[in-house]
Chains A and B, each alone.
Chain A
Amino acid sequence: MTVFDISSPDQIKDALDWAISEKQSLSISGNGSKESLGRPMEVAAELRLANLSGVRMYEPAELVMKAAAGSSFNEINAVLHENDQQLAFCPPDLGPLLGQGAGLGTLGGVFCSNLSGSQRIKMGAARDHLLGVNGFTGRAQAFQTGSRVMKNVTGYDLCKLVAGSYGTLAVCSEFTFKVLPKPEKLRTVLIFGQEPNAAVITMRDAMSSVHEVAAAAYLPEQIAGRTNIDYVSNANRAVTAILIDGNGPSVDFRLNALRSMFDAQGELEELHSKRSSELWKFVSDVGAYVEDQRRLVWRVSLPPSDAADYIFRLRQQIEDLEYFMDWAGGLLWLSLPEGLEDAGQGIVRSQIRNGGHATLIRASSDIRSRVEVFQPVDVVKARISEKIREGFDPYRILNPARMYSIG
């Protein structure tokens, strides 16, 4: 297949004009780090945006940046770092999980898949930080929505729609987004040896406390053993981890408060800034499932209080289940043995009882063409979604069938 190396917005327009007139479809990617996320597609050509890169505007005191869609996170982070700022939703790098290299992720990839790291429970998702989008619809028309200011309710909030649309609505050329000060200090409280249901209660209590917890995760023993942070990997027990961040005096105070709050829950330990960053990167990037690339990986979002029961039910049906919890229980990362009929989707999805959704993040393309990668939606929502798509991309030339088969 031909891969086109896009380096200017005009080239996007040319490519779209061609695709429309020739009735050909295109796949859209940044660096291709998440190419295997979604349903496999048959397209005439691929548009690669990695060379459409660079910071277009950055005003640290206004907490805003605008950059081209193909800019890599490494590039963006380096610029932000100079001003002690960051993307507060802590975008995960799923490249290694998906069998690719690290550090390939682009802005377009992260915003269009609305993927957020562990801090999402406090700081919001990628979509919450997206202020404006420029690009082209599948009509090959220039398209602009949002702006550069923090508060804007002028017209429909199409940024929300673009975020998480996996390139099925528009080819984005630039994003304008919110950036935030990097916390001065991080501390992680570790609680050892909790059972899943006790951990869910601990995480709930942490989140419900006045201590502004930034992230909360539960790593069963087997998963904890895969980190390269010795306190965690040598624990030989499950580890519940609670992150706080902020300025020095505040973090010290809250750390002590959380430690005394959970003193009775088991043995405690704490991680300082550097190791905290490493641990939360391991959690957000799903480092635990990188090594064995054969296994299937599911990502499940559900009400946090359901997490332990859900896992309990799953384990009764899938013997060789690996899992860990992020987002205080609201996000479960499952690893299933290969060779399960339907990749486990029947069990994984039917056990979600009080709302939520499951996405098949890693599987062979053969499986992804047979199994619904994204959670099927009800008929009314499906109909509305399809009409939205009709409005943006009437010929279905953009990433057709990447999310759902074409209706």
Chain B
Amino acid sequence: MVMMPKPNEEVIAKRGYLVQRLRQIIRDPEAVIDEEAGLRAFECDGLSAYRQLPMIAVLPETKEEVAEVLKFCASEGVNVVPRGAGTSLSGGALPLADGVLLGLGKFNRILEVDYNNRCAVVQPGVTNLAITDAVKSDGFYYAPDPSSQIACTIGGNIAENSGGVHCLKYGLTTNNVLGVEMVTMDGEIIRLGGKHLDAEGYDLLGVITGSEGLLGVITEVTVRLLRSPQHVTAQLIGFPSSEQAGDCVGRIIAAGIIPAGMEMMDKYAIHAAEEFCHAGYPLDVEALLIVELDGPEVEIAHNNSLIEKIAGDCGASVIKQSQSEEERLTFWAGRKAAFPAVGRISPDYMCMDGTIPRSQLPLVLKRMNELSNKYGLRVANVFHAGDGNLHPLILFDANIPGELEKCEQFGADILKLCVEVGGVLTGEHGVGIEKRDLMGEMFSEDDLKQQQRLKCAFDPEGRLNPGKVFPVLHRCAELGKMHVHNGKLPFPDIPRF
């Protein structure tokens, strides 16, 4: 189990005083929660193996309230954990025993839809899907579509730089956000970006995106809207082996086709999903691809025939083209429900999120199988195949003593394997607490310190979401120090013009 920083007893001792002062800051007295029943609602996020009641939960409604709360917490030396919908799978929104949980759920309004500039300005607590719902009837949508999109908030998406099945063609959150308004830990409100493109000065918007709630609290977001494609179709392609499926993915892309989405499931995931929602998946294959194409009908037809040929050459045993919008959605229903489907066949599961260079897929699957045997835990694989993002789902039973630890070990081994083959620890779910202690697998001590120096520029006291992302917390003063080597000869071997 990952250990959280030791709670500060002095802070906990003044809880009553903090509650009283926070009630003076927040207009709605019910929005400062201090009784256990109320705090329970926030005790965990999507990584539910970790639970902790926050010291206090605060639900502000305006950016001014957010600013006042942060300023107050900073002055009292109190840590703050921002929270959207709490669907994070990496424990990013896990509360702290000595911290204020800042829930952004009341920031739930869409402030402006601006078709002239093809963007929408929304509050951070608006759900991902609500943005698309608001503009769908006018033929627009917001492209990044995490499977959790009914529930997760756009603020959480920015904090995690979330992806979805369509990011192969349309990019991650970071490629679809134009601007944010953000409050720093010392209570200053800043705007980064807007309805225009690119940053003036340093690209702070770029580093805020994916910063897991460690740099500031997002209070408004401007997202790019896209016109919905004219036509969309999906193909199911089944293969006798995952190697063949992986090969097919590579060849489709090498042929110059970037599908809107390209997902892969292994046998175990196929069966679980099929049983759960009868998507019409073939059950006699080892691997299944869902390939979605969008655009004008002629383009889809052209690419579909190319893909069919490639799939045939790669040894596909089943190729099924969606014949209607309804059928297309059914194809996806199985994939999108893969997590709950697996959840049904096992008491607990943990979702991993490494990314690998695609060519390494056969090796990684083989090694994962070996690990599965070693740990005696089953694993089902769903995979954003187009961009190499793996989601192995490890099945376990938390009620069996020691099984959670075993599952975590197994998960850590999978992620180390991803790094070993040239990949990364997390493709879209974030580091949070889950992968915090594995950061050293990917980064040198110096690189981790350099990242923490960025944190120092925004939050020098380390009050925002401490204990997440970084395995070792350094003081900013210590990070700032520099060791100067004694003056070497100026450029002994560098030629001069």
Contacts and interface: CB of A to CB of B under 8 A. Distances in A.
Interface in B286-337: 295-296, 298-299, 301-303
Interface stretch (A154-162, A225-233, A262-270, A339-347): A154-162
B482 A148 contact: no
B454 A158 contact: yes
Interface string B41-57: 00000000000000000
B454 A153 contact: no
Nearest to A382: B201
A124 interface: yes
Contacts of B451: 145, 155-156, 158
Contact of B388 (A151, A182, A330): A151
Nearest to A149: B355
Interface string A116-159: 10001100110110000000010111111101111111111111
Contacts of A163: 203, 206
A249 B302 contact: yes
Q: How large is the interface on A (under 10, 10 to 19, 20 to 34, 35 or more residues)?
A: 35 or more
Interface in B425-471: 425-431, 435, 439, 442-444, 446-448, 450-451, 453-458, 469
B192 A381 contact: yes
Interface in B235-279: 250-251, 253-254, 256-258
Contacts of B71: none
Interface stretch (A4-12, A97-105, A285-293): A4-12
Given A154-B426, A156-B211, A394 B227 contact: no
A35 B488 CA distance: 28
B163 A388 contact: no
A310 to B, nearest CB: 11
A375 interface: yes
A157 B207 contact: yes
A141 B160 CA distance: 28
A305 interface: yes
Contact of A149 (B188, B196, B357): B357
Contacts of B422: 147-149
Interface stretch (B110-118, B126-134, B147-155, B402-410): B110-118
Nearest to A254: B296
Contact of A160 (B174, B229, B442, B458): B174
B363 interface: no
A355 B299 CA distance: 38
A125 B196 CA distance: 13
A11 B190 CA distance: 40
Contacts of A160: 174, 203, 205-207, 209
A250 interface: yes
B17 interface: no
Contacts of B302: 247-250
Contacts of B427: 149, 151-153
Interface stretch (B5-13, B79-87, B489-497): B489-497
B345 interface: no
B424 A149 contact: yes
B197 interface: yes
B457 A384 contact: yes
Contact of A151 (B195, B227, B258, B428): B428
A333 interface: no
A73 interface: no
B199 interface: yes
Contact of A165 (B117, B202, B429): B202
B307 to A, nearest CB: 12
A387 B207 CA distance: 14
B201 A377 contact: yes
Contacts of B426: 152-154
Contacts of A331: 197
A27 interface: no
Interface stretch (A56-64, A188-196, A314-322): A56-64
Contact of B196 (A64, A152, A330, A395): A330
A210 B429 CA distance: 31
B186 to A, nearest CB: 9
A125 B179 CA distance: 15
A331 B184 CA distance: 30
Interface in B188-224: 188, 190-207, 209-211
Given A128-B175, A330-B197, A377-B200, A143 B458 contact: no
B485 interface: yes
A181 B484 CA distance: 46
Contacts of B163: 151
Interface string A156-186: 1111110111000000000000001110100
B195 A137 contact: no
Interface string B16-28: 0000000000000
A10 B64 CA distance: 50
A199 B188 CA distance: 40
Contacts of A116: 198
Contacts of B355: 147, 149-152
Given A15-B491, A22-B487, A147-B423, 18 more contacts: A4-B496, A5-B496, A127-B206, A141-B446, A143-B446, A150-B389, A155-B439, A156-B211, A160-B174, A160-B203, A161-B207, A208-B140, A247-B299, A247-B303, A257-B296, A355-B193, A384-B190, A391-B453
27 contacts: A6-B494, A11-B491, A14-B488, A15-B494, A18-B490, A60-B254, A63-B253, A142-B444, A144-B444, A151-B355, A151-B427, A152-B424, A156-B210, A157-B211, A181-B256, A181-B257, A181-B258, A204-B116, A208-B140, A210-B230, A250-B302, A303-B116, A303-B196, A359-B200, A377-B201, A388-B453, A390-B480
Q: Top 7 A-B pairs ranked by shortest CB distance? A: A160-B206, A391-B453, A355-B194, A250-B299, A181-B256, A357-B200, A387-B457
